[in-house]
Structure 1
Amino acid sequence: MAATEFLETAQGRRLAYHKNEGTGPTIVFLGGLKSDMEGTKAVHLEAWAQARGQAYLRFDYSGHGESSGAFTDGCIGDWHEDTMAAVTALTEGSLIIVGSSMGGWQALLLARAMPERIAGMVTIAAAPDFTEDGYWASFSDEQKAALKAVGQVELPSDYMEPYIITNRMIEDGRRRLVLRNALDLPFPVRFLQGTADTAVSTETAVRLLEHATGPDMHLLLVKDADHRFSDGPCLGLIEEAILDVVGGERCDA
């Protein structure tokens, strides 16, 4: 595997990334909260794209993986800036955006920022607005008071060590919500969602499908698939969804 490369951003962050050259549109993988670019889906899709001769980019947000910064210092807006910086500096031409969990929210923010660059989008257990509809909505009065007084609360995770959720993340998230006003996705979109996902509900997936507007949107519910969505059959479904949004043809240069 090629050595990790680094991008210095205008905000002073150092983002770790792996980029494969090839034909376009470039596939860009956007990972989830506290995930990194060494995850199963990110690495699998890199090998798959490479076999197709297609350009591919995976990277770590600040405070994630090999990138600079602490997770607890970051927020949705910071990671949106990271995504914009990586896409702008490291890719050219049209893009296929693949967003997993929080990366699905990031994909939707990217669609608002640069729709002209996006040729298609695939989301996997997309979690738009989760800081408000998931975290804040479920906090007890005691947790909300602690968030204001101490600046953070600790939440258990089914997948790793507990999450430290900061007041900054909650407040910044409110400025990035995508399900409260118009969300136009003027390109083919495939939303993938497992019915056994305990982190993102099927109701969230349906809400996103019903809220967004666009000429070609489909939601695929996969019975008994969990939030990881990374076993062999699920990886195959991600590949199929990418091919679907590009018409199944080998991409142009």
Structure 2
Amino acid sequence: MAATQFLDTDTGRRLAYHLTPASSDATAPTVVFLGGLKSDMEGTKAIHLEAWAKARGLGFLRFDYSGHGESSGTFEEGCIGDWHQDTLAAVQALTKGQILPVGSSMGGWQALLLARTLPERVAGLVTIAAAPDFTEDGYWANFTDTQKAELETRGQVELPSDYMEPYVITKRMIEDGRNHLVLRDPLVMSMPVRCLQGTADTAVSTETALRLLDHASCADMRLQLVKDADHRFSDPACLALIETAVAEVLGLSGADGIS
């Protein structure tokens, strides 16, 4: 496997990344994988999709947000706006032309922010258990009065996770998240969008997926609900569905597209 490379951004952060260049004759958009909260670029979906793209001569970028994986900083220092800055920095420095973001969980929110900020470069969008506005609608809306008081006095609270050690949620993350909400104001997307959501997902509900579908203005947007799939969405059947969604948005078919 190729060695990890690093990008020093204008914000002073150092981002770890892996970039697979497109084959010389490839004209398709570069696929950009955007991971979830506290995930890193070595996850099953990112690695699988990278191999799939490489086999088809497609460009592919995966990277770690600051405070994640091999990138600089700590998770507790970060917030949605910081990771949006990281995403913009990676895309603008490491890719050219059209891109196709594939966003998982929090990465789905990041993909929507990216499409809103750089609509001219986003040729299509695929989300997997997208979690837009979760700091407000998931965390803040469900905090108890005690947790809200703790957030104010200590500046952070700890929340249990089904997948790893507790999440440390800071006051800064909550307040910054309010500056990046996408489900309150019009969300216009001129590119094709495919959303995947498992019905057994305990981190992101099907109601969230339906809310995004209903809220967005998009002429070509589809939501696929997958019975009994969980938040990881990483078993072979789910990985095949991700391939199919990306291939469909790219306009690929048959042996050159869907495996």
Compute the TM-score of the two structures, normalised by the length of structure 2.
0.96
Structure 1 residue 179: deviation in Å? 0.1
Q: Distance in 2 between matches of 1:125 and 1:80?
A: 18
1:145 aligns with 2:149: yes
1:180 aligns with 2:181: no
Partner amino acid, structure 1, of 2:21: E
Give the alignment partner of residue 31 of structure 1, picking from 30, 35, 40.
35
Partner amino acid, structure 2, of 1:9: T
> Which residue number corresponds to residue 52 of structure 2?
48
SS in 1 for 2:188: coil
SS in 2 for 1:159: coil
Structure 1 residue 164: deviation in Å? 0.2
Q: Distance in 1 between matches of 2:58 and 2:135?
A: 34
Please report the RMSD computed on the Cα atoms of aligned residues, expressed in angstroms.
Answer: 0.9
Deviations 1:7-28 (A, max 9, x none): 0000000000000011331000
> Which residue number corresponds to residue 242 of structure 2?
238
> Which residue number corresponds to residue 13 of structure 1?
13
Q: Distance in 2 between matches of 1:101 and 1:156?
A: 17
1:221 aligns with 2:225: yes
Identity %: 73
Q: Distance in 1 between matches of 2:246 and 2:54?
A: 14
Structure 1 residue 175: deviation in Å? 0.5
Structure 1 residue 230: deviation in Å? 0.4
SS in 1 for 2:120: helix
Gapped regions of structure 2 (runs ≥ 5): none
Q: Distance in 1 between matches of 2:73 and 2:213?
A: 34
Moved over 4 A (4+): none
Q: Distance in 2 between matches of 1:247 and 1:49?
A: 14
Number of residue equivalences: 251
Deviations 1:104-137 (A, max 9, x none): 0000000110000011100000000000000000
Q: Distance in 2 between matches of 1:158 and 1:93?
A: 38
> Which residue number corresponds to residue 83 of structure 1?
87
Gapped regions of structure 1 (runs ≥ 5): none
Q: Distance in 1 between matches of 2:157 and 2:89?
A: 29
Partner amino acid, structure 2, of 1:101: S
